Amino acid sequence: MAAWQAKPRECAAQTVRSVRIICLCVQLFLQHTSAMHLNQGIAASGTQQAIRGLKMDRSGTMTQLLGRATPRYSRCHVVNGARPPPLTARSELSLSRRSKRRKRGAHKEEMQQFAIERPARSAERPFRYLCVLDVEATCEEFSRNYVHEIIELPVVLVDLEKSRVSSEFHTYVKPTANKTLSPFCTRLTGIRQSQVDAAPTLETALVQLEGWLEAQGMLLDAPVAERNFAFAADGPWDLKNFLDAECERKGIRKGAYFDKWVNLKQLFSDFYRVRSCKIHKMLEFQGMTFEGRLHSGIDDSRNIARIAIKMAQDGCVMYLNEGLSRKPKFVSL
Ligand code: AMP
Ligand code: MG
């Protein structure tokens, strides 16, 4: 006679005990797995110190809120059984918006190390020469809709390969619509009436500039992707609001190479990941100071060229990041 037949009650009790032991093992195994996931998530975030508490609710779900550390991270839930997110460059914890702003402002210098190179696209190949342009124009104080005319046209040629200025072009320009400079304009730019009176008009100055560019070996007629040079300015105003607007108004032909340019202010901000700022601030950021007279076209151009050289030395790839929105009306001279 089998034992179970002899003592059926005893056998049933033994079976129940075995089932209980198995259930307990399964429960322990599940808890162990969830703890592992949690640890993985925390290790990936690198914020172990930030952990305040670990909760397990009735359903057995473990939830962890990461406490506030410096810098502050957004809330992160690590849930039982959930696969920890893949480790990406940014990790699974992202900075909150406010933290990002605080970090940007507080650690400008530190941010330099994160400077990245934007890949050059086909039409934005790196070029060897940068023609830095900073024009001065007629103006009035507190005049909103003033129609400006260029009165100084300087270009500083930067050889990006050799990290130095290789040549300079400079001419004053005679205004034709409003021939008399305001005292404010002379004070601001340092340009005297006699200097513009003796200068060529914008049309002639642009022809002179083109001759100089040719003499410097610039490939003026090459398609944009094959050009060995590009114009660069501190913002959109010089090539758009001053040069293009005046040429449009007066029907002056200008080269197609003026239509796309390097907006150095924007590129500076993108490259170093700082807010866009004025020339002297950019220089200060790079450990330099403004040399010469502010609002003198040639001095502004030289200082912008210094900024560009330092950016190139820091590993910034120059590319055409701005242009005229309309199709160019005129072909190359
Ligand atoms: P900038 O490149 O900053 O030297 O300025 C270029 C031109 O903008 C000047 O030649 C002026 O025609 C005009 N401009 C600059 N600052 C002022 C200002 N504060 N008031 C009126 N016009 C200005
Ligand atoms: Mg200027």
Looking at residue 106, what is its pLDDT? 45
Which atom of ligand 1 lies closest to the CA of 297? Answer: 4
Catalytic residue (one of 136, 152, 246, 322): 136
Ligand 1 centre to CA of 138 (Å) is: 8
149 is catalytic: no
- Residue by residue, pLDDT tens for the chain (333 residues) are 444 444 556 756 677 787 787 767 677 666 654 444 433 333 333 323 332 333 333 333 333 332 222 222 222 222 222 323 333 333 333 344 555 555 455 444 433 333 333 544 444 457 999 999 999 999 999 988 999 999 999 999 999 999 999 999 999 999 999 999 999 999 999 999 999 999 999 999 999 999 999 999 999 999 988 999 999 999 999 999 999 999 999 999 999 999 999 999 999 999 999 999 999 999 999 999 999 999 999 999 999 999 999 999 999 999 999 999 865 555 555
241 lines ligand 1 (CB under 6 A): no
Which atom of ligand 1 lies closest to the CA of 136? Answer: 10
Looking at residue 27, what is its pLDDT? 74
Looking at residue 255, what is its pLDDT? 97
233 lines ligand 1 (CB under 6 A): no
322 lines ligand 1 (CB under 6 A): no
Q: Among 146, 187, 191, 295, which residue has the most ligand 1 atoms within 8 Å of its CB, making it the best to mutate? A: 295
Looking at residue 17, what is its pLDDT? 80
Q: Could you state, in order of their start, the residue ranges of all structural domains in the chain? A: 129-323
Ligand that lies nearest to the alpha carbon of residue 303, given by its number in the listed order: 2
149 lines ligand 1 (CB under 6 A): no
Ligand that lies nearest to the alpha carbon of residue 150, given by its number in the listed order: 1
32 is catalytic: no
What CATH architecture does domain 129-323 belong to?
2-Layer Sandwich (3.30)
For residue 172, give both structure tokens. Answer: 């004053």
Catalytic residue (one of 92, 168, 170, 295): 295
134 lines ligand 1 (CB under 6 A): yes
Contact 282, 276 (CB under 8 A): no
Ligand 2 centre to CA of 300 (Å) is: 5
Looking at residue 34, what is its pLDDT? 44
Looking at residue 14, what is its pLDDT? 77
Ligand 2 centre to CA of 212 (Å) is: 21
Ligand 1 centre to CA of 142 (Å) is: 11
189 lines ligand 1 (CB under 6 A): yes
